[in-house]
Amino acid sequence: MQTDYRLLTPTTNMPNRRHIQVAEEIQQIVSYLIQRELKDPRIGFATITNVEVTTDLRFARIYVSVMGSDEERKDTMTALQSARGFVRHEVATRMTTRTVPEIQFKLDRGLEYSDQINRLLNEIKVAEATTADEAQPATDDAVSAKDEA
């Protein structure tokens, strides 16, 4: 018997209502656990951004965004990996499903990437504003020089 390890993505099977409900419920439970019940000091400012489940609901990939340095991200992911058993047990007690998915945590760098793009766009905007300000007085000086002549 082969296990279906494919995660539901837009390129594979479209998730049905049950898959979406399970993923959302797992996201809410794990978010609560990270905020309130996991007492590991290595866990920094972590946010659950997405949960994907397999078609047979046996595996769940939980995407975590961590704000902070690379060292803090690494420590947070290590702490979450070591807490997988506790998290799965808590998910099992709070959900009413026959099977509870195996949990896998993945670092989500999407927010970090969008923040970097936003900073670059702001730098370009500031650079354009400063070049426009520098160019405008030069043209004003040229106009006033013509008026004087």
Asked if 57 and 99 count as a contact pair (C-beta separation under 8 A), the reply is yes
The residue type of 5 is Y
- Supply the range of the domain harboring residue 122: 110-149
Of the candidate ranges 10-14, 33-37, 68-72, 122-126, the one whose mean pLDDT is the lowest: 10-14
Q: Are residues 56 and 75 in the same domain?
A: yes
Q: Are residues 56 and 71 in the same domain?
A: yes
pLDDT confidence tier of residue 7, bands split at 50, 70 and 90: low
Q: Does 5 score more than 60 pLDDT?
A: no
Q: Are residues 90 and 79 in the same domain?
A: yes
Higher-confidence residue of 32 and 11: namely 32
Element at 1 (helix H, strand E): none
pLDDT confidence tier of residue 48, bands split at 50, 70 and 90: very high
pLDDT at 97: 86
- Decide the pairing of beta strands 102-107 and 45-53: unpaired
Cα–Cα separations (whole angstroms), residue 143 to 132, 136, 137, 139: 17, 11, 10, 6
Across 63-75, average pLDDT:
92
| Confidence (pTM) | 0.71
Q: Are residues 103 and 138 in the same domain?
A: no
Calpha distance 106→101 (Å, rounded): 15
Q: Are residues 103 and 116 in the same domain?
A: no
